[in-house]
Structure 1
Amino acid sequence: MADQRANLEIRPVTIEYLEQFNDLLRYVFQVTDQEVSDSGYEEGELERAKRPVLEKSDVIGWFNGDELISQLAIYPCEVNIHGKIFKMAGLTGVGTYPEYAGHGLMHDLVKVGLDQMRQNKQWISYLYPYSIPFYRKKGWEIMSDHLTYDIRDSQLPKQQPVNGHVERLDIDDADVIMMYDKFALRNHGAMIRNELNWDEYWRWENEEERIAGVYYDENEEPTGYVLYWIANEVFHIKEMIYLNQEARIGLWNFIGAHYSMVDHVKGNLYQDEPITFLLDDGDIEQTIKPYFMARIVDAKEFLQAYPFETDGQAFHIELTDPLAEWNNGTFGVYWDEQGKVHVTSRPVGEKVVCDIQTLTTMLMSYRRPSYLAKIERLQATKQTLKNLENIIPVEQPYFSDYF
């Protein structure tokens, strides 16, 4: 392979390589023509639909002459992290043809990709992992879960009076978009969706079959929605979001009104919501699995921008990172008299020892500092752990997108 690598080079994947980009994606992820057709695409339409992603993303690849053999795409996004909007690098389209696998090509590509993210001031990156161990080795860590549930018709909540009503609308109705925008700005971890993000959200599903049920309060303001379809006597919920409990009750009233049409309601949750506790009969089938992973790209910049819950005692992190050398070292965190956060290379205050994966999942509030210390992913004194518990917001991430 050493001889082979002499003939390979890393360079940007430009629009002229769109066909090769899609061919590599479909080969690596084994997307069949039947699956493409089932998703509602006509021949050639998927490739055209992916064109904006290639145009707006930073795509980097290994080339053997003019042949694209390995690639990754950095998808430009924005996310809400505890009430503050961050630029986020969505890592997607990662793949290498098998005859070139096992020789460190992707390792080098990810290093180049991290440097590109840093230049773009994308201090955090998300990805959907095809292999959690693979991405953990490269510095990503689990930051959100995907829960599914199956409720029998007899277990649906009883109808309760509310002041608003539900209207059935197209999934791209302006009120659906507006409702999600309101929700995303109130929920930590969520994607701030632009048009391209919405396109990706529906990429592998036939949106012609989907319906939006939007809840309007007594002032005709949208405060919740359910995106759903009905097939084979099952009410399928792709996503249900709401701003208050009235909207939650109103949406379940709407779902329950389908009692005579369906035997089951099957749905998705993207936050650890106690749905079993909210039902009269909570004995339902439920599954939970890790969903997205995240990675801090630049620890100093992320810490400096991070919306800590409150001022705390100064501390410093002795940090290690397997790929981004700029994250290896000491990061001191302290607050000035005006409450502004400063990050220094000096070892101020008490010591915290961890890797970039642990720091990421802790600051994303997926796992708490005390738990991470308990499982020996983080070393700190009891007093320092109390400090971290106080300054890191508690709300767990919500992320329902896919790219």
Structure 2
Amino acid sequence: MNIRYAKDNEINSIKEIWSYCFNDGPRFMDYYFNNKYSRGNTVVVDEQQEIVSSLQLNQYQIMLNNKVYDTSYVVGVSTFPQVRGRGYMKNIMKFTLSELYSKGQLVSILMPIDYRLYRKYGYEHCYDQIEYNIDIEDLKRFSVSGKMHKVDESHIKDMIDINDYFLSDINGNTVRDESYYKVLFEEIKSEDGHIYIHEDNGYEGYIIYFLNNDTMFVREIFYKNIDSLKTMLKFIYNHNTQCRKVTISAPINDKLRFILDNPKTCEIKIKPFMMGRIINIKGYLESLELASDINLSCNIFIEDEFIEENNGVFKIEIENGKVSVEKVDEKYHLFFNINTITQLCFSYIDINEAIVINNMNKDYRDSEIIKIFEKIFTKKNNYINEYV
């Protein structure tokens, strides 16, 4: 078994694995391999000169705790059935994590088919979305203000403006620029989707959706004000001769549920969406910028079975808002595995939730050590909406 990066002449083999393992049509595969695929970001398992397993590391930037981080989004983890059960996934993930650390990346993200497959490698649940399932007739009362336009590239700057406004109080989202939206347009087109933008006093919102038999799926509905949201809900209702129901995905702090006529007739649920992982705990903690009046110190033990540099006792010192981290051979105050420290670093949980999850002694809750962690990690509303 040889684990390495893909070669130029192996794209057809990688397409073959992808096609076998995922239920994607030819148009989406053409989009993906023309716009997202890079052999330099593709890890393969070569067995006797045959590619039998692969994954891709798609590159994004995410805004995490007010700082931008380059990150690898692990996608397309796939193995042919004749070699499953031989430990290939464990070895390809171990190789990948080592590579990400060597490249200087501090965090990684992954959308799991099954959380159990990836928790063992240190990835942990860090993102949720709200999913609304609504009878389209429940949107009848909303009224339209302004106009809806089918989107083209001339609207990209306005979409960026809407995106930045709508997600201004969100953590962990991807940085979206002009090139991002151009690629997104191709992705939506490859899946027969639609994008419309709302104009009233300027451009105030946009919607991305798909028509699937009698159900509309709304992937994004971003807006600057409630009037724009109401207009786009009426726009959805205007499809009532085509669709009976609409499914809408939205950030956890979305306001849609507050303006529904009768929320009890809708199904509203939290949908787990994305996992994260800390790749370099020392590098990540030292990248943080804290309030300048904080001067604290503690030792924590972190258990990471796949990245040795993250495994051990770390002395964390905060002086004048700057964090320094050193691996030491000393006693420790707190123990966390890489999964829990990842959730803290992504601001998905706070230190008190971490104590409950890890069944720690209640005496910790009033200690000075907890106060240190309360200064470093603040729980936030996380949102990300990338599929590949």
User: Shorter-chain TM-score: which interval?
Assistant: 0.7 to 0.9
Alpha-carbon distance in structure 2 between the residues aligned to 1:28 and 1:304: 39
Deviation of 1:166 after TM superposition, in Å, equals 4.4
Match of 2:6 among 13, 16, 31: 13
Q: Against the structure 1 CA distance between its residues 270 and 22, is the aligned structure 2 distance closer, same or farther, given a 3 Å change threshold?
A: farther
Q: Residue 291 of structure 1 is aligned with which of 268, 273, 277?
A: 273
Contact 2:151 2:197 in 1 (8 A): no
CA contact 2:160–2:177 (8 Å) conserved in 1: no
What letter corresponds to residue 63 of structure 1 in structure 2? D
* Matched positions, count: 381
Aligned equivalent of 1:150 = 133
Between the aligned partners of 1:254 and 1:18, the Cα distance in structure 2 is 42
Cα drift, residue 79 of structure 1:
0.5
Name the residue aligned to 1:62.
45
Distance in 1 between residues matched to 2:373 and 2:259, nearest whole Å: 31
TM-score, normalization by structure 1: 0.81
Range with bigger deviation, 246-255 or 232-241: 246-255
**Amino acid aligned to 2:11:** L
Instruction: Report the alpha carbon displacement of residue 124 of structure 1 after superposing the two structures with TM.
Output: 0.5
In structure 2, relative to structure 1, the CA distance for the partners of 1:259 and 1:28 (3 Å cut) is: closer
Aligned equivalents of 1:118, 1:146: Cα separation in 2:
29
Distance in 2 (alpha carbons) for counterparts of 1:362 and 1:389: 10
Distance 1:394 1:19 in 2: 44
C-alpha distance in 2 between matches for 1:149 and 1:230:
16
Q: Structure 2: any 5+ residue segments left out of the alignment?
A: none
| 1:77 counterpart residue number | 60
Give the aligned partner of residue 260 of structure 2: 279
Specify the SS of the correspondent of 1:76.
strand
Q: Aligned pair in 2 of structure 1 residues 391, 299: CA closer, same or farther (>3 Å)?
A: closer
Change in 2 beyond 3 A, CA 1:105/1:92: same
The one-letter amino acid paired with 1:356 is I
How far residue 291 of structure 1 moved from its aligned partner, in angstroms, is 1.2
Give deviations 1:19-72, integer Å, cap 9, x for gaps.
00111112223x3xxx515xx46xxxx347414433265212121232111222
CA distance in 2, matches of 1:95, 1:121: 25
Report Cα offsets for 1:231-279 as digits up to 9, x if no partner: 6665432211234555445544554666787643321124354643442
Match of 1:401 in 2: 386
**Worse-matched range after superposition: 97-106 or 246-255:** 246-255
Aligned to 1:269: 250
User: What's the CA shift string for 1:132-183, capped at 9, x where partnerless?
Assistant: 111000100011123321223453385489xx73432226542334533555
Relative to structure 1, the CA distance from residue 359 to residue 378 in structure 2 (aligned partners, 3 Å threshold; closer, same or farther) is farther
1:77-101 per-position Cα deviation (integer Å, ceiling 9, x unaligned): 1101022111111111212222222
Q: Is the 8 A contact 1:145 1:291 kept in 2?
A: yes
Cα pair distance change 1:340/1:308, threshold 3 Å: closer
Structure 1 residue 370 corresponds to structure 2 residue 352: yes
Distance 1:208 1:328 in 2: 43
> Structure 2: which amino acid aligns with 1:26?
S
* Structure-2 residue corresponding to 1:165: 146
Separation of aligned partners in 2, 1:67 and 1:56:
16
Q: Is the 1:333–1:348 Cα contact (8 Å) retained in structure 2?
A: no
Question: How far has the Cα of 1:294 moved from its partner?
Answer: 0.5
Q: Tell me the secondary structure at the aligned position of residue 109 of structure 2.
A: strand
Segments of structure 1 that go 5 or more residues without pairing to the other structure are: 1-7
- Distance between the aligned counterparts of 2:53 and 2:378, measured in 1? 39
How far did residue 116 of structure 1 move? 1.6
CA contact (8 A) 1:70 1:97 kept: yes
* 1:25 alignment partner AA: W
Partner of 1:28: 21
Aligned to 1:382: 366
Output the CA distance in 2 between the equivalents of 1:67 and 1:208. 31
SS at match of 1:317: strand
Q: How far apart are residue 295 of structure 1 and its match?
A: 0.4
| Aligned-partner Cα distance in 2 for 1:48–1:168 | 24
1:203-352 equivalent positions in 2, closer than 5 A: 206=189, 209-216=192-199, 218=201, 220=202, 222-229=203-210, 234-245=215-226, 247-252=228-233, 254-255=235-236, 263-273=244-254, 275-283=256-264, 284-308=266-290, 312=294, 313-337=296-320, 339-346=321-328, 351-352=333-334
Identity fraction in percent: 22
* Aligned CA distance change for structure 1 residues 258 and 331 (closer, same or farther; 3 Å): same
Change over 3 Å in CA distance of 1:354–1:63 after alignment to 2: same
Q: Note the C-alpha offset of 1:391.
A: 3.5
CA distance in 2, matches of 1:199, 1:281: 38
Q: CA separation in 2, counterparts of 1:371 and 1:157?
A: 41
Alignment of 1:121-140 (within 5 A): 121-140=104-123
Task: Tell me the amino acid that sits aligned with residue 237 of structure 1.
Answer: V
Q: Which 10-residue stretch deviates more, 177-186 or 361-370?
A: 177-186
- 1:302 alignment partner, SS class: helix
SS at match of 2:37: helix
What's the TM-score once normalised by structure 2's chain length? 0.84
Of stretches 178-187 and 366-375 in structure 1, the one that deviates more from structure 2 is 178-187
RMSD over aligned Cα atoms: 3.3
